[in-house]
Amino acid sequence: MVNKTVLVVDDTDDVRELLRTQLIMLGYHVLEATNGQEAVEIVGKELPELILMDLTMPVLGGIEATRLIRKTVRNTNVVIIAFTALPSAGSRQLAFAAGCDDYIQKPLDVDKLSRLLERHLMEG
């Protein structure tokens, strides 16, 4: 059993449900947030090992939420992965500048998700 926590941040219910199902199948504990503000609040209470962060959301977008989380959890090695349907190089640059560790595009199948998590979580 993997026993690591992943926070899925996405404003689309279907996306969160699909990712939750895939992550649970892979053995991860899953937390969910529907926007960046909820993500910041959750990280303040529980520290996930990895965050899948949608970039385009209401209330607080993924770029701003990533910046806030990086300021809040400076002394941890939480991995933040920008998870977006936006294909532009500009959004990729913004994500890395805000503090994201990786950038992937939707949709993401379970094999790609598994490899991504292994790459970021199994190293430590």
Give yes or no for a contact between 103 and 82, defined as CB atoms under 8 angstroms apart. yes
Could you tell me the pLDDT band of residue 124, with boundaries at 50, 70 and 90?
very low
Rounded to two decimals, what is the model's pTM? Answer: 0.91
pLDDT at 106 over 60: yes
CATH-assigned architecture of domain 5-121: 3-Layer(aba) Sandwich (3.40)
Q: With 0-12 CB in 10 A as exposed, 13-18 as middle and 19+ as buried, what is 117?
A: buried
**CA gap 116, 39 in Å, rounded:** 20
pLDDT at 105 over 50: yes
Strand, helix or coil at 20? helix
Query: Domain coordinates of the chain in residue numbers?
Result: 5-121
Q: Which residues 6+ apart lie within 8 Å of 80 measured at CB?
A: 50, 51, 53, 66, 69, 70, 99, 100, 101
